[in-house]
């Protein structure tokens, strides 16, 4: 291992809101013997798989339809890149045993500005995921209960707009607690939802639609969108430091990453292929919207999807709220309720303004996920380890990843913003 650059010593006891952010995204470790001995290998594998499993599974079939069948080659390339950058984060942490969170990696490499930059990108990504969850809820509830409307005098609210508002009212009380340990247990719902969705699609294809080799071989114009959505599925690097720091046997972290990536690749890949075989280019930004609402298998998939936003919104948005509260020194109950209520309202407004799940997810993947999970690990690694800058296979590989990440990020961000603006 190369020797890292000399950095000012830092206290391992310092704790920031970024620590709370990463701890919130994982099921908390009980204060038993594991507190001192670390998390066992099996549970660590679950935590990593849980972190990688998310709402990206709903848009993966749409991603394949945008890029065409040959874009699966890029799908596997994205997996390799994200796996490698995950290992780079581990190497960065090995340079200083005090590092427990991703922003601290940025601090080791670039000082306070590096820590601030990573934290801001992480919080922005979480905020937009919160918006996506509301869009997801509105779309699928409208699918289950079409033509629903409510009238208040001359004002009528109907369809997905109504369900976004209703969902936010149900979600709101879950955001008021600052106890992230309670909220974090809901994260397992994402894994179960992905499994149920996969089973429902397989059931749908066998019992109803059948599987047909249709769609395009390659759609160059849709590749930026496809790549952005592919990256959404495998970019959970913000929580990798917490997973690594919690391990009993840290030398087995590469095996943990390998197992979690293989499991998620299997799940994401099957959902993508099944959805595209069933619906071809007609597959929607959320594959659940293609399902017939009256069928049992459709209800299972849609209900599993409906539970996800209720379970994950508070988990996703609470760290953002805590960062705002800490910055403004708001710790009273009234202040906490005000901040979190206004934060929820802001995400509702954006969800109603930009009602296209696929476009928002593409933007998250193309800009934020690529920055946090591809570019920053490479840049931090090059900064921390001097010998990594010497010409060789490793440096060439990292430079290629950086160039590819920048190109894909620019193209995908431009494409998603253009589609969002055109849809307004």
C-alpha 236/C-alpha 54 separation (Å) is: 9
The domain containing residue 411 runs over which residues? Answer: 41-423
Within 8 A by CB and 6+ apart from 111, the residues are none
pTM confidence score = 0.81
The mean predicted confidence, pLDDT, of the chain is 83
Task: Say how many C-beta atoms besides its own lie within 10 A of residue 195's C-beta.
Answer: 14
**Beta partners for 152?**
155
Residue 284: phi, psi to the nearest 5?
-90, 175
Residue 424 confidence (pLDDT) = 65
Q: Determine what percent of the chain is predicted with pLDDT higher than 70.
A: 87
Nearest to 366 by CA among 417, 319, 330, 331: 417
Tell whether 2 is covered by a domain: no
Residue 373 has pLDDT above 50, yes or no: yes
Burial degree of 280 (CB within 10 A; 0-12, 13-18, 19+): middle
Give me 238's structure tokens: 């913000």
Tell whether 419 is covered by a domain: yes
Tell whether 370 is covered by a domain: yes
* 4-57 confidence digits (pLDDT tens): 554 444 446 555 665 655 555 555 444 444 444 677 888 888 778 877 877 788
Tell whether 25 is covered by a domain: no
Residue 395 has pLDDT above 50, yes or no: yes
* 210-232 confidence digits (pLDDT tens): 888 878 899 998 998 899 899 98
Choice among 30-44, 99-113, 125-139, 301-315 with the minimum mean pLDDT: 30-44
For residues 128 and 9, the model is more confident at 128
Tell whether 283 is covered by a domain: yes
With beta carbons less than 8 A apart as the criterion, state whether 286 and 277 touch: no
Residue 331 confidence (pLDDT) = 75
2: pLDDT confidence band, cut at 50, 70 and 90? Answer: low
Rounded to an integer, the average pLDDT of 341-367 is 85
Burial degree of 42 (CB within 10 A; 0-12, 13-18, 19+): exposed
Nearest to 362 by CA among 187, 223, 189: 223
Give the length of the chain: 424
* 142-172 confidence digits (pLDDT tens): 878 888 888 777 777 888 889 999 999 999 9
Tell whether 17 is covered by a domain: no
Residue 343 confidence (pLDDT) = 94
How many structural domains compose the chain? 1
With beta carbons less than 8 A apart as the criterion, state whether 260 and 163 touch: no
Give me 361's structure tokens: 């997810």
Nearest to 78 by CA among 324, 405, 417: 405
Give me 164's structure tokens: 């976004």
Nearest to 24 by CA among 173, 178, 138: 178
C-alpha 203/C-alpha 61 separation (Å) is: 16
Rounded to an integer, the average pLDDT of 78-106 is 92
* 254-287 confidence digits (pLDDT tens): 999 999 999 999 999 999 999 999 999 999 888 8
Tell whether 139 is covered by a domain: yes
Residue 175 confidence (pLDDT) = 86
CATH number, position 257: 1.20.1740.10
Residue 344 confidence (pLDDT) = 94
Q: What is the CA radius of gyration of the chain?
A: 21
Rounded to an integer, the average pLDDT of 235-259 is 88
Tell whether 261 is covered by a domain: yes
| CA 140 centroid distance within chain | 19
* 281-340 confidence digits (pLDDT tens): 999 888 888 888 778 888 888 887 787 777 778 877 877 888 888 888 877 888 889 999
What would the DSSP string read from start to end of 141-188?
A: HHHHSTT-EEEETTEEEEHHHHHHHHHHHHHGGGGS---HHHHHGGGH
């Amino acid at each position: 291992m190369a020797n890292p650059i000399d950095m000012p010593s830092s206290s391992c006891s310092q704790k920031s809101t970024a620590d709370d952010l990463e701890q919130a995204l994982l099921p908390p470790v009980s204060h038993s013997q594991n507190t001192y001995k670390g998390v066992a290998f099996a549970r660590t594998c679950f935590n990593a798989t849980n972190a990688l499993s998310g709402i990206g599974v709903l848009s993966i079939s749409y991603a394949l339809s945008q890029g065409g069948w040959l874009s699966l080659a890029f799908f596997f390339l994205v997996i390799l890149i994200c796996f490698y950058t995950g290992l780079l984060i581990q190497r960065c942490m090995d340079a200083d045993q005090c590092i427990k969170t991703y922003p601290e990696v940025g601090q080791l490499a670039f000082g306070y500005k590096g820590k601030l930059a990573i934290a801001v990108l992480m919080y922005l990504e979480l905020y937009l995921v919160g918006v996506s969850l509301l869009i997801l809820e509105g779309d699928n509830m409208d699918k289950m209960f079409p033509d629903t409307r409510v009238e208040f005098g001359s004002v009528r609210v109907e369809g997905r707009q109504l369900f976004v508002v209703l969902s936010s009212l149900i979600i709101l009380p879950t955001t008021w607690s600052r106890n992230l340990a309670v909220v974090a247990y809901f994260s397992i719902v994402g894994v179960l939802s992905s499994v149920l969705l996969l089973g429902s699609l397989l059931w749908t294809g066998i019992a109803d639609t059948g599987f047909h080799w249709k769609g395009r071989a390659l759609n160059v114009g849709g590749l930026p969108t496809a790549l952005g959505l592919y990256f959404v599925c495998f970019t959970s690097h913000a929580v990798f430091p917490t997973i690594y720091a919690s391990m009993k046997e840290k030398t087995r972290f590469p095996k943990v990453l390998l197992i979690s990536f293989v499991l998620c690749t299997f799940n994401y890949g099957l959902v993508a292929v099944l959805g595209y075989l069933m619906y071809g280019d007609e597959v929607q930004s959320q594959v659940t919207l293609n399902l017939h609402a009256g069928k049992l298998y459709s209800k299972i998939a849609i209900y599993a999807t409906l539970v996800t936003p209720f379970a994950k919104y508070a988990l996703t948005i609470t760290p953002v709220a805590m960062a705002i509260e800490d910055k403004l020194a708001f710790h009273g109950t009234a202040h906490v309720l005000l901040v979190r209520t206004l934060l929820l309202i802001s995400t509702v407004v954006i969800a109603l303004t930009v009602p296209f799940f696929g476009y928002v997810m593409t933007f998250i993947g193309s800009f934020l996920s690529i920055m946090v999970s591809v570019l920053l690990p490479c840049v931090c690694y090059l900064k921390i380890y001097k010998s990594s800058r010497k010409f060789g296979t490793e440096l060439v590989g990292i430079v290629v990843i950086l160039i590819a990440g920048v190109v894909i990020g620019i193209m995908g961000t431009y494409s998603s913003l253009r589609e969002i603006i055109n849809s307004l």
